[in-house]
Structure formats: structure tokens, C-alpha cells
Amino acid sequence: MTTLSPVAASPLRQRLIDEMQMRRFGRETQRNYIRDVGRFATFLGRPPDTATAEEVRRFQVEQRDLGVPVPTMNSMVSALRFFFTQALDRPDLARRLVRTGHARKLPVVLSQDEVARLLAATTCLKHQAALSVAYGSSLRASEVTALKVRDIDSERMLLRVERGKGGQYRNAMLPVGLLSLLRAWWKAGRQLGVMHPDGRLFPGQHYLKPLSTRPLHRIVVGAG
């Protein structure tokens, strides 16, 4: 596992790991927290439990001046807050950390004519169905390609959508017209031998492998 820094005390690193494991942090989170605390230790040039509030402030200023992206900056803040409060019992240092706000881009909402032109940009039934799911149920391309046949709940008119990492799911609305299109795609896919009840709704080269998002993006760009 990544070390905090060449000068960091091993018991201090172990204390951080113990605190994360007691809270059942995932391996990726633990790795990221150790890396971010290590970055702070490198900035100090000595064990991070000797830091002052002014050094915490200067570290953030330096990261900003280096052009570190806002999401990365905020991830470091989370790691250091946990380290200061849980491993060091130094809430005074945690209070000096500042999360950085950043503007979020608003999603582009297409008109009905634009959606119709987009769907007409391909004659492939699979791609038409996939794009219809994206716009009819407001899903990302990655969410569409991750769908399985069993994610369709025709009784409740819902789609079971995998939500990021961690195996969590949410439900998306399934319009009546979209269900009819998906049934047409299911029938055609079965005739082609590419659809399976336990497989992907939009399979790639194998029924268990998802379709790549690249062809969907190309259709969108071509219809623009």
C-alpha cells in the first residue's frame, strides 16, 4: 500500500489505516486518502502530525497555484479532514480546510424535432432503441449500455438503472412507446441470435458484453 512519505512515522500511517478500516472504507478510498495525506506530508517535509494551521492554509494555496483541478482539491480536503479529526484528534486543523465550489454545466435538452432527427440518423434498430432509452428515460450513455434485459420492469413501467460504483440502483420511468420499441428490438435480437434473457439489453459482440458507447456518441455527433 502507498506510504504517506519517506519521513512519515509508520505508526501514524497505521493509525490512519486503522481508522479507515474500522469504518469499512473501500480499498480505493483508503488508497486515495493515504495518497492525499502523503502529498501533504511531502509538502511539509516532515510527519503531518506536526503541521500548523498556517501550513494547512499554505498547502491549499500551493495546490491551487499549481492548477490542481477542483474535484482533486476537494478530494484532498476530505482526506485531510478525516486524517486530522479521526487519526490526530486535531479538529482545529480540519477547520482550516476549505472546499472549493465549481460551476456545473447544465445538461443540453433537445427539442422533439431534434430528438426525431437524432433517431433518424441511424437505421440500426439496436442503436435507435438505445438512443430512445437515453432520451426517453433520461439516462447517460454509460447507463444505457450497462442495462440488462432483466432490468426492464414492464409491470411497473420502470427501468432498473445501475448507479455508479457500489452496486447501487435507481429506477427510471419507462414510457409506453419506449416499451413497444424495446419489445421490437428484443424480437429482432432473438432472431439474430444476439439476445438472451440473462444478457445485456444492448449487447456487444457477446450477449454478456455491453455495447460500447462510441457508436452512440458518433450518431449524436453526426446528427448535430
Instruction: Express each pLDDT in 159-198 by its tens digit.
Output: 988 765 555 678 888 888 889 989 999 999 999 888 899 9
- Distance, in Å, from the CA atom of 220 to the CA atom of 205, rounded to the nearest integer, reads 22
Assign 3-class secondary structure to the chain: CCCCCCCCCHHHHHHHHHHHHHCCCCHHHHHHHHHHHHHHHHHHCCCHHHCCHHHHHHHHHHHHHCCCCHHHHHHHHHHHHHHHHHHCCCHHHHCCCCCCCCCCCCCCCCCHHHHHHHHCCCCCHHHHHHHHHHHHCCCCHHHHHHCEHHHEECCCCEEEEECCCCCCEEEEECCHHHHHHHHHHHHHHHHHCCCCCCCECCECCCCCCECCCHHHHHHHHHHC
- Distance, in Å, from the CA atom of 10 to the CA atom of 48, rounded to the nearest integer, reads 12
pTM of whole model > 0.85? no
pLDDT band at 140 (very low <50, low <70, confident <90, very high): confident
pLDDT at 115: 59
User: How far, CA to CA in Å, does 5 sit from each of 13, 15, 38, 224?
Assistant: 9, 15, 5, 50
Q: Residue 62: is its pLDDT beyond 90?
A: yes
pLDDT one-digit tens code per residue, 12-55: 889 999 999 998 888 888 999 999 999 999 999 998 999 999 99
Q: Residue 61: is its pLDDT beyond 60?
A: yes
* Residue ranges covered by each domain of the chain: 10-94, 112-223
Report the side by side order of strands in the sheet with 158-162. 152-153, 158-162, 169-173
Strand partners, 152: 159
Bridge-based pairing of strands 158-162 and 152-153 is antiparallel
Per-residue burial over 160-179, b if 16 or more Cβ lie within 10 Å, else e, is: bbbeeeeeeeeebebeeebe
Question: Topology of domain 112-223, per CATH?
Answer: hpI Integrase; Chain A (1.10.443)
Question: Topology of domain 10-94, per CATH?
Answer: DNA polymerase; domain 1 (1.10.150)
Bridge-based pairing of strands 169-173 and 152-153 is unpaired
